[in-house]
Amino acid sequence: MNQTINDILQRRSIKKYNERKVSEEDLDTILECGLYAPSGSNKQSAIMWAIEDKELIRKLEMMNAKVVGNDPERSHNFYGASVIIIVLADQKASTNVYDGSLVMANLMLAAKALDIGSCWINRSKQMFETQEGKALLEEHGIEGDYEGIGICLLGYYDEEPSAKPRRENRIFKN
C-alpha cells in the first residue's frame, strides 16, 4: 500500500507519551510540513508556536484545563507530550479556521510518517481569547490578531494504539 495512504489509515490520537524527546530535526520536518498546508487564496493565515519547555507546557496545560472548569493542578490533558505546537490563525482571514485545521492535519500526518505520536487538543480558541493568553503570546513575540485553532501534541508512545471501528453510513455515492 502507498505509504501516505497507510499513514492516513494508521494515524491515531495518542494520549500517553513516554519520556523520549522528539529530535530537533524531526520537529523541524513536522513544522515544515505544516507550512505546506493548503490555505484559502493561499493567504497562509496560520502560524505555529512550537514549545518544548516543560514549565511553559505545564502552564498552558493548566490554562486549557481552566477553560472546561477542571482543576488545573490535577489536570494532565497534554498526556506528557514532550512537544506541543499551538496553531493560531489570523482572524482577518475569512478562512482562518479552515487554514489552521489543515495545518493541524499536516502536522499530525507528518508526525505519523516519522513514527511520532500526535493528538489534537481543543480549547486553544478560548485560551487565547483571555487576557492571560493574549499576554502570553505577546510575551513570546507573537503579535497580531490571532485565533487559537488547535494544540498538536507530539511525542513517542510505548504501544501502538488500536483503531476503533468506523461508524457506518458516513459515505454517500451517486
Q: Where in the chain are the domains?
A: 19-155
pLDDT bucket at 163, cuts 50 / 70 / 90 = confident
Phi–psi pair at 151, nearest 5 degrees: -120, 120
Contacts of 100 (CB under 8 A, 6+ apart): 45, 46, 87, 88, 89, 147, 149, 150
Contact 100, 46 (CB under 8 A): yes
CA gap 15, 114 in Å, rounded: 18
Q: In what order do the strands lie in the sheet with 83-90?
A: 46-51, 83-90, 146-155, 117-121
Tell me the whole-structure pTM to 2 decimals. 0.94
- If you average pLDDT over every residue of the chain, what do you get? 95
Q: Report percent pLDDT > 90 for the chain.
A: 89
Residues in the chain: 174
pLDDT tens-digit series, residues 33-58: 999 999 999 999 999 999 999 999 99
pLDDT tens-digit series, residues 58-111: 999 999 999 988 888 888 999 999 999 999 999 999 999 999 999 999 999 999
Task: Read off the C-alpha cell for 174.
Answer: 451517486
Higher pLDDT among residues 10 and 160, named by residue? 10
- Under CATH, what is the fold of the domain 19-155? NADH Oxidase (3.40.109)
CA gap 68, 32 in Å, rounded: 32
146, pLDDT greater than 90: yes
> What is the mean pLDDT of the segment spanning 104-133?
97
